[in-house]
Each structure stands twice: as C-alpha cells, then as structure tokens.
Structure 1
Amino acid sequence: MPSPPASSVRHLAQKTLRIVLLVALFMAMAGIGAYVSLTLIIKGEDTVIVPDLVGKDVLYGLEILSDLGLNTRVKGTEYHDQVPKNHVIDQDPEAGAAIKRGRDVKIRVSRGPETISMPNLAGLSLQQSRILLTEYGLCQGLLSGMASPRFDAGQIMAQYPPPGSIVSRNTCTDLLISRGPSSPAFSMVDLSGFSPESAIRRLERMQLAVGSIRTVRRIDAPPDTVVNQIPPAGHRVAPGNRVDLTVNRSIQGRHAGGTGSADPVELFRFALENGFLKKRVQVRMNRPQMSLNLFDDFMAPGQEIWLLVPKNGNPTILVYVDDQLMETRIMYAD
C-alpha cells in the first residue's frame, strides 16, 4: 500500500496538538475557578484564627474566645505538675487553625500539682484554717487544745504536717488550738457563817460555779447560814470550778436536836423584766396536800430574787407577776 503524503501527516499532527492545548487550557481554567470559588466561600463564612490558650488562665481564655465569637467548652480537669491551677493544659483545635465563628474550642484545665506545700495556719481561727485547707485540697484532722499566753483563745498554735511540708492532696492536718492564757489558781475562801445568798454572790464574783446546795438541821450553828463547803477553805481552785454548799435550816414541825439528815434543795432564780414600774411578784410552792408562799413583794424592773427550794416531793414552783402566772417549774429530787 502506498504511504500517505507528508502534507497529510503534518496536518493531522497539528490538529492533535491543538486539541491537547485546548484540553490543558480548559483544565487550568477549571482549577483556577475552583480555587477562586473555594476562597470566596471560605471568606464568606467569616473565619477566625484560633488563639494560643495553653498555659493561659481560664478567665483570660474565656474572654479572648468570647471576643472572637467562639464558644468555650471545658472537656475536663486534671492534676498537672507544670501547669498552675486553673490554667489551660491543651486545646482543640490547636492554635493557628482557621475556623468559623460560633464553633467550639475545647480546653482541658489544670487542677494544679498533685503534691503541694503545706500552708502555714498559725494564728488563724479554726474557721479560717478550714477555708484555707479546702482551697488547697486538704482536710482537717484531729483537734486538740492547750493554754497559751502567746495566742488568743481559738487561734491555731501548731499543725502537723508542719508548714512547708510537701504533701499529697487530701492529706488531713492535725491542729493544736489555743485555749488562751491559763487561769491563775487561788485559795478557796471560807464561806462559813454567810447566808446562802451572800455566799452565792461571792462565788460569782470569784468566777466560781455554784454546785449543789443541801440543808441540815443543827443546833450549834445559826439558821440559814453556810456550815460546810466543798472544796474546803484554803483549797486551790481556779475560775469555773464548782463549789457545793451545805446550809443550816430550821424547819418547823420537826425536832431540832442532833444533826439530822440532809434535805436536797435547789437554787431558784427569777428576774423581773426591764420596765418602768414596780410589780408585785409572788412565788408559790405546791406539794401534794400542801401549798406555801415563798415570796410575796413588789420588785423593781430588772431586780432578781434567789430562793432555796427543798426538792422533796417534786414540788411545783409557780411565779405570778401582778396576779398573772408567768412561769411554772417542777423541782425534781435527785
């Protein structure tokens, strides 16, 4: 077969080349169009660059993300030895990423190191120490107290573990609390011969507590006076100690010979409320088959009366103010 002429071959090659160039040009234009379109779409979605929050304070991160129109999501907290408490450990998306406004940025927050230095609690009140221990993730341990001239009552004197110790969280701290300066002891005075009311007032001036009051019948001592006391005169006592008294009573209807047996009594106190006018106060004792007026007189506002009431038979004490019943009390025998 004869070969085609050379002119025909050249024409075919030129035609093929033109087709290839057109296809390449079309593909290039399509790529450029796609790139331009994608750029316009991204710009149209209002993107922002995620800031670097790692190591930053949580409040700072919240403020920055809010200004950028992004949402903050805390995905967890954990202890971290290098990142301080309430600072960001890591984030998602990472810093530098371009995202649309309104998207979430997830952060993980540090709870501080697992081990901490024990704070110094000396001089704080118990309530203040509890607040500080809670802030450090610690707890209160055993409490004990002792007198101290250097610390006010209620202040922390010492602690264990001591300040500066490296401890793990949830460690409980034992505290030694001051009871204030120790109260000085003094010699007990002799109350023999005092009336019960005078003896009680003197005990209160010495900051001593009135204990039990019992009565006896003795002919060798004046009636209605103190004949015995515990602790005895000269014994070392301190403010707040209790003092028991024995009072000589003459009771009608019984023989007065001998020492007799002790009758339990209790101190009854009543104070008239404050005001401007005197009021009539009556104190009546009711026992089975017996009623007895213990007090009937006018009292000034704020005035107080003290009465020794025998408790045999569980008597009922009734207090009337201007003929109106104001108080009822049952005196139970021991």
Structure 2
Amino acid sequence: MVFMRPCWLKKHAGRDNLMNRFGILGKILLLASAMVLVTVLSAWVIFTFLTRGGEVTVPDVKGQEMGAALEILSRQKLGLSIAATDYDASVLPEHVISQDPDAGVRTRKNRIIRVVMSLGTRTVHVPNLAGLSLRRVELQLSQSGLKVGKVARAHLAETDSGTVISQAPLAGVFAARGQEVDVLLSEGAPVLTYLLPDLTGFPVEDVLATIRAWGLKAGRINNIESTDLPPGTVTATHPLPGSAVQEGQTVNLTVTTLPKPGKTFPIVLYQYVSPPGFIPHHLRLVLSAGQGASEVFSQMIEPGTSVTIPVPVPRTGILRAYVDGSLLEEKDVP
C-alpha cells in the first residue's frame, strides 16, 4: 500500500530548508564582519604604535652655525634643508635665522627641517669723497646707505678750503650698511700768526711798510695833536702790542699831528703806579670827547713804577684808563 505525502507538507519542508540556508549565510557574514573589525583594530593599534614610536621633538637650531645645526638635527634623526637666505645684522653669516617646523614641535623621524640662512650684514662700497664739500659728502653717503661720522679740520696747502682731504674707511672697501664714515676737511693753506711788536714811537711811514711786509692790512689812522712828539709819530696801535695777529688782519694806528696855529689845549696829568711784582702791566689811556674817542697813551709799565702822563684835552670829555685790557678808572676832563 502506498502512502502519498500531502502537498502542504512538501511546501513546509522546502521553507525550512530555505531558512536553514539563510541562517548559515548570516552566520558566515557575521563571522566575516567580526574578522574584518578585528583586522582593522589590529592595524590601527600597530599603526599607532609604530607612528608614536617614530616621533621626535624638533630641537632649536636658530642662531646655530649650519654645520652645528645639521649635527643637532641628525641626533634626532632629522634632516636639514636651506629654504632661503637673507641679510640679518643680528645673526652671523652662515647661521640659522629661522626654522620650519619651529622648535618643540613633535614630528616624524627623517623629516627635513627647512631653515633660513643668514648672509650677515648687508655691505656696500664706500664711495670716494676726496675733494667734495661736506654737504655733497652727506648726500653721497646717504645714497650709498652710509652716514657721516666724525668731522675733523686741518690746514693744508694747495687744497680748497672746506673740501675732503682724507676719509676712513677708505674709498672702495666694503662697509656695513648704516656705518659711519669719518672725514678730514681742509681749511686751506696755514695762516701765519704773529705777536704784534710795539710800533709806537716810530714814523707812520715805517710802521705802514712793516705792517704790509708782514701781510697785515693798515686800517684806520686816528690823529692826535701833540707838541711833545714829531708829527707823524705812531703813539698807539690796535690791536695792542703783544697781541696775536693773523695774516690779513687789520691794524689801526694813532698818529700825532701839530696843533693848529694859535690853539692851545689844557693839559691833564694822569698818574699811575704799577703794582709791585715781576710782570709788567700795559697801561692804555683813551680820551672820549664829543662824538669820537682817541688813544692818547699805550705803553708797558714796569712793576713798582710810578709814571705821570700829560694828556692834552681839546674839549670836555672822559679819560678812561685801562690796565691789561680791563677798565681801571674813568674821570671827567679837564
């Protein structure tokens, strides 16, 4: 006897087989996902370990000489590359101005550290300043990036006054930008200096010839009437005897003339006692009358000596006495 399975039972069995197949596939996928996750996590752990184990801290090489900077970086398993060069007066040539990355940064080993190398101070050629005036020197140095330093002056024959005759540093050498250049200016040929001798008591013609022979100039001639000295006798000079005078300086004279006929002047006697000691004193008498003033006496008086000087007074005025250039006294005359 043959039994037949019902149709609904066949359908149910097929459904169970399909479910079994999907269950196995899900388990396989779940297992594969777990393995992938484990692999990724393992790789991340290994990468992190390897990466952190290969990091170093970038050392500070700023201001270091290039060879020393390379040695310092090499100790940390780092390299060096010159990214650029620049002028920097505060950093010596062939030394590091800056670096990238900066000091203290964590980075991987074997990384190249880029640095800027110093070329030192920017230098310029010192121009030739010989023969230039001080104003042109200032302009020339300014255009070259330099400054005027100390300015000295000296007399030198065959040179134009006010022009440069020497400089330091010398022309053509290299100097740091902004450096000062010292110059020596000429004041022309040396000027002769004399001590004016006592020319009083000599004829005015002889005195004028002597003044011109020394390279001096004859200035104003003041006349004073006198009966004690021959007409044309020099009684005073300005500057005073013994004064330092330079070539080309003017010397004024006081010269005697005869009184006008029939005209007499009152005489004022001025007495002076020179202090005792070893040094003579210069006595000078100046008579101011009307709108003018004239020197009536100028002479060195020995120490401890008493002198009486007659002073003709043509009109009312003031007699001033000077000793060694300082006013001693003044009084109304006659």
TM-score range, shorter chain: 0.3 to 0.5
User: Which structure's CA Rg is the greater one?
Assistant: 2
Q: Structure 2-normalised TM-score?
A: 0.35
